Amino acid sequence: MRHTQNIRKTFARLEYTNKDMHKDTDKKLILWRFVYKNNVFSWETEKGKPSVTHSTIFLLLLRRFKKKTMSIKNTIKKIFQGKLPIALRNLAAAGAVFLLLDAACHLNPAYDWVWNVYIQANLREVSSLPHASLDERLTMKLGEDYQYVIFVRDATPSNSVIFYPSLADFTTVLPGNEKSPFSGKLTDKLSAIRILYPRHIVLEDEMGRTPWSFKITNVAIVNRRNVDKLPYQVPSHYYIGVLPTDSTMVNY
Amino acid sequence: MQTIGILFLFLTGFLLIKRISVKFTLTECVGFAFPLGLGLITFFMMLEDWVGIKLTPTANLATTVLLLTTCICLNIPERHALLGSFKPQWDFKYINLVWILLFILIAYAEYSNFVKTLYYPTYDRDSMAGFDTIGYVAAQEHTYKGMSIFDGNYFPKIHAAGSYITYMPMVQLSYAYIYSLGAETSKAIPALIYLSFLFGFYGLTKRATCRTAAILATFGMMISPEMFSFSSLSNTNVIHACAASAGMIYVCLWFKNLERRDLLLGCALLALNCWIRTEGIVFVLATLLLVLIKERKEKQFRQLLLPTIAILPIVLFTIYAATNGLTAESVIIAHPFWDPVKIQSITGGAVFLICISHYYGYTFLFLLAAALGNLKYTIKELDELHILLVIVLTTVLYFLILYHINYVWDSLDNVINYSAKRFLFCMVPIAWFYIVTNKRVRNLLQKFENRLSFC
């Protein structure tokens, strides 16, 4: 019996023929012939080996032959020498690499942090709230400070000039030694501008030094600090918020 | 709009790399196309702003299209070679389970990092109090030099020492670009640059060693703890490290193989590095030294011209800043001086940063082991000695810059403890490149790959 694989209109072909059983081992054999440009290579294998398709064998041989990167005999040997030991070797190597990486994670807390916190926990956190708004995502990172600044943003017109609290205002200790809810992450002027733009910001140390400090329209109040910047009395229960300098526009 | 802008910038950079040489592999082109495209558009945005053209979305997109058209025109004479270079050359000889395992780990880790970067808007202090806000305001006011936050009447501290006004504007302008095209946050820029860099680093490392070693180096470099976590923030350090290290590695490849294309792309990336941060000049100095060493026999000193051109962004921005009043109190001590206390603080800080494995993982430990293991070849054949020279020289120059800064806005201890750790990000990819490309490790990993090869 003879089969021929003549693939992609090349002049190469691969033939394989069933041969009689080996008289000593009773194994069924196949006789192979690879023909390319008047070169004929023939060899024998056991039936069922290799477990790849005939067209794969043909393409591998043809590629090697055309590139001349490896002798055709070596290629034949490599293809038919059996994949099982190489597969086992790969599994062992991959397993060893995996164990090494795992050991590195256990030995070095920084790698452990990268893998378990930075990669996995972050992904879980992101997956848990996939549709959170931009403000919600920033609140997750910046906390109460951000919530306060977006409150100021939403409570003031876009052309307002806001007196903005300092770090000391944000972190001051409240009456009764109560801790301030703010951490002072957004006390830098540029950070505040990023959220409040196009509103203008004036800081304590700029008062009287810049033209904008004479145009303040709103005062941001945290922990009841800066109420003295307003030209009117503020109720004693008013601790956090933003109030206009114009008393006629006050709405508690 | 932003997708179109990003795509066009990617194509511009891609064609620019292909114009340098069609021989660059697909991974290299994919890796460095976006950063180079972004570098070009921001450079032109500065020039436009200089001559008074408003940085409106229309102007930004028109410039992008113009740059892309120019790159297409430049490639027309070489179109056949260019199209031929896209023909895929599949070679799966190197595929093995270790490569696949590392690839899966890199893909998973970077997926998580990418998602995290895009999910959270800018929240880190340095970006909110600088780069991101400057970019956002520039996009709103359609100008860089004339922004309200650069006006001393509104922001008196903007001209104080250490102010962001004097920082190189590449990152700020790239944020302005993306905001002007309608983005809600600027995080697409750091996310895409880091993703690109992983491709680029793998692409250029596999040119010097086997694929399994290249992916191992990419994995080791990527999970360097401090650098990886900073890659999701909007500040300039990781973006700078990507450009500086890639440029330096290309120059090292040129030093070894003497292929002019490597020097050209290396210098383009070094120019980008200078365009991102001023201290990138230390890599240009290292390049000049390598070119000088290589060309001293043939006396081909015009090769020095290329690295010198890489300083051009700094020179032009300095003139632009001076002519538009974007200046601040100088913090550089320009004269030589001797301060043993300062030297001791900086040296102690440097040694601490390099030795502690919390920031860079085992990067410098492996670098030391690789250098010692390869000592025989380093002495006999000068194998990869130039890479070691670059690492040592640039690190010393970096700390020399720290020494010559007058810390009037912050304490030296604070800078060493909180800022200096980011200076060494540039060394991490170069170190991993050396670890897998020195002869000893290269041969070892090549044998390892051959033993695992299925074909």
Say how many domains are in chain B. Answer: 1
Q: Which structural domain, as residue segments, surrounds residue B318?
A: 2-85+93-452
Confidence of residue A26 (pLDDT cuts 50, 70, 90): low
Summary mean pLDDT of chain B = 91
Q: Which residues on B lie below 8 Å from A122 (Cβ)? A: 112, 116
Mean pLDDT of B21-36: 93
Asked if pLDDT for residue A206 goes beyond 70, the answer is yes
| Contact check, Cβ <8 Å, A126/B115 | yes
| Contact check, Cβ <8 Å, B102/A110 | no
Amino acid B74: pLDDT:
92
Question: A217-246 as b/e, with b when 16 or more CB fall inside 10 Å?
Answer: bbbbbbbbbbbebbeeebeeeebbbbbbbe
Place of tokens 């028109």: B62
Question: Encoding tokens for residue A96?
Answer: 């060893």
Displacement of CA B116 from its chain's centroid (Å): 21
Alpha helices (H) along B122-278: 125-126, 132-141, 170-180, 188-205, 211-222, 225-230, 237-257, 260-276
| Contact check, Cβ <8 Å, A188/B101 | no
Tell me how far apart the alpha carbons of residues B301 and B295 are, in angstroms, rounded to a whole number. Answer: 7
The residue of chain B nearest to residue A194, with distances taken between CA atoms, is B133
Residue (of B388, B397, B380, B375) closest to B433 by Cα position = B388
Is B103 within 8 Å of chain A by CB?
A: no
Q: Coil, helix or strand for A45?
A: strand
Place of tokens 């000088």: B292
Q: How many CB atoms lie within 10 A of CB B285?
A: 13
Q: In what order do the strands lie in the sheet with A29-36?
A: A3-5, A13-19, A29-36, A39-46
As to burial, measured by CB atoms within 10 angstroms (0-12 exposed, 13-18 middle, 19+ buried), residue A26 is exposed
Kind and range of the H or E run holding A200: strand A200-202
Confidence of residue B349 (pLDDT cuts 50, 70, 90): confident
The pTM score is 0.85
Distances (CA, A) of B454 to A75, A78, B5, B445: 11, 8, 43, 16
Q: How many CB atoms lie within 10 A of CB A12?
A: 19
The residue of chain A nearest to residue B449, with distances taken between CA atoms, is A90
Higher pLDDT, B82 or B63: B63
Tell me how far apart the alpha carbons of residues A122 and A237 are, in angstroms, rounded to a whole number. Answer: 40
Distances (CA, A) of A134 to A141, B42, B52, B122, B207: 11, 26, 34, 10, 42
Beta strands A161-163; A200-202: pairing state = parallel
| Contact check, Cβ <8 Å, B112/A98 | no
| Contact check, Cβ <8 Å, A110/B140 | no
Amino acid A1: pLDDT:
47
Q: Which residues on A lie below 8 Å from B129 (Cβ)? A: 188-191
The residues facing A32 across adjacent strands are: A16, A43
Give the residue extent of every domain in chain A.
3-81, 85-128, 139-249
Our CA angle for B47, B330, B147, nearest 5°, is 40
Amino acid A72: pLDDT:
60
Higher pLDDT, B439 or B407: B439
Asked if pLDDT for residue B45 goes beyond 80, the answer is yes
Amino acid A252: pLDDT:
67
Q: In what order do the strands lie in the sheet with A200-202?
A: A200-202, A161-163, A218-221, A241-244
Among B134, B358, B455, the residue with its CB nearest the CB of A110 is B358
Q: Which residues on B lie below 8 Å from A94 (Cβ)? A: 96-98, 100-101
Interface test with B, best of A114, A117, A200 (most B CBs within 10 A): A114
Tell me how far apart the alpha carbons of residues B117 and A141 are, in angstroms, rounded to a whole number. Answer: 13
Distances (CA, A) of B345 to A151, B106, B358, B397, B403: 44, 37, 20, 16, 10
Q: Kindly report, residue by residue over B413-440, the tens digit of the pLDDT.
A: 788 777 788 888 999 999 999 999 999 9
Q: Which residues on B lie below 8 Å from A135 (Cβ)? A: none
ipTM of the complex model = 0.87
Q: Kindly report, residue by residue over B139-165, the tens digit of the pLDDT.
A: 999 999 999 999 989 998 888 887 889
Q: Which of residues 58-97 of A touch B (CB under 8 A)?
A: 60, 78, 83, 86-87, 89-91, 93-94, 97
Tell me how far apart the alpha carbons of residues B382 and B394 are, in angstroms, rounded to a whole number. Answer: 19
Q: What is the dihedral of CA B309, B311, B312, B317, to 10 degrees?
A: 170
Is A173 within 8 Å of chain B by CB?
A: no
Asked which of A188-192, A200-204, B297-301 is least confident by mean pLDDT, the reply is B297-301
| Contact check, Cβ <8 Å, B448/A93 | yes
Among B96, B129, B359, the residue with its CB nearest the CB of A191 is B129
Is B97 within 8 Å of chain A by CB?
A: yes
Tell me how far apart the alpha carbons of residues A224 and B225 are, in angstroms, rounded to a whole number. Answer: 42
Is B156 within 8 Å of chain A by CB?
A: yes
Tell me how far apart the alpha carbons of residues B25 and B83 are, in angstroms, rounded to a whole number. Answer: 13
Q: Torsions phi, psi of A30, nearest 5? A: -125, 135
DSSP B295-352: HTTTT-GGGGHHHHHTTHHHHHHHHHHHHTT------B--S----HHHHHHHHHHHHH
| Contact check, Cβ <8 Å, B121/A138 | yes
Q: What is the least distance, in Å, from the CA of B120 to any CA of chain A?
A: 6
Residue (of B142, B287, B231, B264) closest to B425 by Cα position = B231
Asked if pLDDT for residue B4 goes beyond 70, the answer is yes
Among B123, B184, B361, the residue with its CB nearest the CB of A111 is B361
| Contact check, Cβ <8 Å, A141/B116 | no
| Contact check, Cβ <8 Å, B113/A186 | no
Is B123 within 8 Å of chain A by CB?
A: yes
